[in-house]
Structure formats: structure tokens, C-alpha cells
Structure 1
Amino acid sequence: MLLFLIIVIMSVMVILLGQNIYENINKDRADNYEKRVSLSYIANKVRQADKENSIRVEKSEDVQALVINEVYDEDYYETWIYYYNDGLYELFTGESIQFNPEDGMKIMNIDSFSIERLSNKLYKFTVGYDKSNTELIINVNSNQQQGEI
């Protein structure tokens, strides 16, 4: 009887330990997913807009943003990607419309976001999530002339 009780107690302990390990692995996986998805999203936006003078970095209302210039039906538009209220936001607006960070659409929750222009063609994006940062360095193929930070 004592042996059976010891086996039951040990089994419960192993199950609880396994549950804790499983929860930690799932949390790490979800955090990693959030960081990778946000950087993949930014990389895809930059690659889609990789034309001369179509990408710049601006700071408006204390918000640093990646601004992508686009032309549709001979009208000029801008896509602003920026960090605001604990999230990565995107705002698609006419070129002449003043930027207001509250008008954007929240894409995902993140803790921080920064953009650094390393050279004429090289940008570094840093996303913070759950007390750790992940970086993406991307080279634009076109010859960029504007957008100094």
C-alpha cells in the first residue's frame, strides 16, 4: 500500500512538472512568434516599396515612423508604420494629410520599436517584446536619398 502511494505521489509530481515545462515552452514560442511576425511584416513592407525615394524615417509628434510613399491612380499616399500605445501601428493616408498616431490601426502588441538608418541603403529595425529585443537589418536595393533620422 505504501509503495502504491509513493508511485501515485511521484506520478502527480511528474505530471505537474511536465505541465510547467509545457506552459513555459508555449509562452516562449508565442513571444518568439510575436517578434518574428512583426519584423517579417516590416521587412515585407520595405521590400514591396523598394523604389527610389519611396522609403524614409520620420519623427512626428514624438513618434518615430517608417514612411513608405506610394502612388495609386496618379494620387500620392503614405503608409506610416510606428510604435504607439504598446503596439505596432499602420496608417495609410493621403500624402497631404497630417500624421496623427491615433488614426492608425493596431497591427500587434509589442513593447518597443525603433528604426535606425545605418547607411544610405541599410536600415535596422528593433522590436521589443516581453523584456527582450529582436533586430532586423535590411538592405534596400534602390538608391535612397531622403529620410535622415
Structure 2
Amino acid sequence: MKSREFYNNTEQPIQFLFTMVLLFFLAISAIFTVLFGAEVYKNIEERMNENFNSVTALSYISNKVKQNDKAEMVSVEQVDGIPVLKLVEKHDQELYDTLIYCKDGELKELFCDEGSGLALEDGMDIMDVPEMSFEMIGKNLLKVRTYGEHGKYLLLALRSGEGGYE
């Protein structure tokens, strides 16, 4: 009888120790799973924000170009080494420029009359965009590109280049 009692008494601490070790490993694995999931969520959120900014910036520019798609009113220029999309509008027989460009990580817009003397620093911030370029391909095709890890580009066919509407 004594040997059986001795066996039961030594078995209980071992079972308790095994249960505690198992519980410890389950808790540690749960913590690592939560930490890993949080990191994955953070990466997905960053990619979604960058994608949103790129797509929104391209959509904004697309709408501005479509509003000003008249003969000889859309061009790409270099101002102080920065590619600038220049949209010219006519109001009361005077010409006004809308300059869209990317400077210091911001998409900016500057609306002014021709020869106003305003600089690119005077433009209004639209949204965060790391870098952007504009390029005229031929007479009637505008290529707008955003850069970054998930950079995108947009091709806009200008109807005004084909003798469109005034």
C-alpha cells in the first residue's frame, strides 16, 4: 500500500508542473499571434493609405484636366526644376493659370493670373503625395505618374488635341 501512495503523491506535482508549462506555452503563443496579427494589420493599413493617396491624387488631376480640356489649354512645363501641369482658363478675356505640381511631399495647386509673379511656394496643399511627374506623349496624351512603393500612373487622352471643343 505504501508504494502505491508514494506513486500517487509524486505524480500530482508532475501533472501540475506539466499543466502549468502547457498553459505558459499557450499564453506565449497567443501573445505572439496577437503581435504578429497587429504587425500584419499595420502593414495592410499603410499600403491601403498609400494606395488611397495615389488613386485620389490621380482622380483629382483627371477631373481637373477634363474640366480644362480645351485646345492649347493643357501643357506640361518645368518650373524651378519641378514638373508642373499647367491648365489655362479664360475668364472675362483674361487668361488664368492653374498649376498642379508636387513639392515637399505635397500635391499642390496654384491658381493665378498669367504674370502674377507668384512662386510655387504660394500654392495650396491638396494632399500628401511623395512624388509625381507629368509628361506629354505626343500632342494629345498626358501621362501622370505617382511614385512610392506602390506608384501608379494614369494616361489621359486630351480631346482638345484632336480638334475637340472650345
Q: TM-score, normalised by structure 1?
A: 0.87
The 8 Å contact of residues 89 and 105 in structure 1, kept in 2 or not, is answered as yes
Residue in structure 2 matched with residue 135 of structure 1 by the alignment: 153
Q: C-alpha distance in 2, partners of 1:43/1:134?
A: 13
Q: How many pairs does the alignment contain? A: 144
Residue in structure 1 matched with residue 14 of structure 2 by the alignment: none
Among residues 83, 95, 99, which one is paired with 1:76 in the alignment?
A: 95
The 8 Å contact of residues 51 and 150 in structure 2, kept in 1 or not, is answered as no
Q: CA deviation at 1:144?
A: 6.7
Higher strand share: 1
Residue in structure 1 matched with residue 83 of structure 2 by the alignment: 64
Q: C-alpha distance in 2, partners of 1:60/1:21?
A: 41
Query: Are 1:55 and 2:74 counterparts?
Result: yes
Q: CA deviation at 1:84?
A: 1.7
Report SS of the residue matched to 1:137. Answer: strand
Deviation readout 1:47-83 (Å, 9 max, x if unpaired): 1111112111122222221111112344321100112
Max Rg structure: 2
Q: C-alpha distance in 2, partners of 1:13/1:120?
A: 57
Report SS of the residue matched to 1:120. Answer: coil
Structure 2 counterpart of 1:44, which letter? N
Greater relative contact order structure (CA < 8 Å, 6+ sep): 1
Q: C-alpha distance in 2, partners of 1:94/1:47?
A: 20
Q: C-alpha distance in 1, partners of 2:115/2:33?
A: 63
Q: C-alpha distance in 2, partners of 1:139/1:66?
A: 15
Q: 1:74–1:83: structure 2 CA closer, same or farther, 3 Å change rule?
A: same
Deviation readout 1:70-122 (Å, 9 max, x if unpaired): 12344321100112222221100012323511111121222222111111110
Q: C-alpha distance in 1, partners of 2:49/2:92?
A: 40
The 8 Å contact of residues 76 and 86 in structure 2, kept in 1 or not, is answered as yes
Residue in structure 2 matched with residue 2 of structure 1 by the alignment: 21
Among residues 106, 111, 118, which one is paired with 2:125 in the alignment?
A: 106
Q: C-alpha distance in 2, partners of 1:65/1:112?
A: 12
Higher helix share: 2
> Sequence identity, in percent?
31
The 8 Å contact of residues 55 and 144 in structure 1, kept in 2 or not, is answered as no
Structure 2 counterpart of 1:93, which letter? C
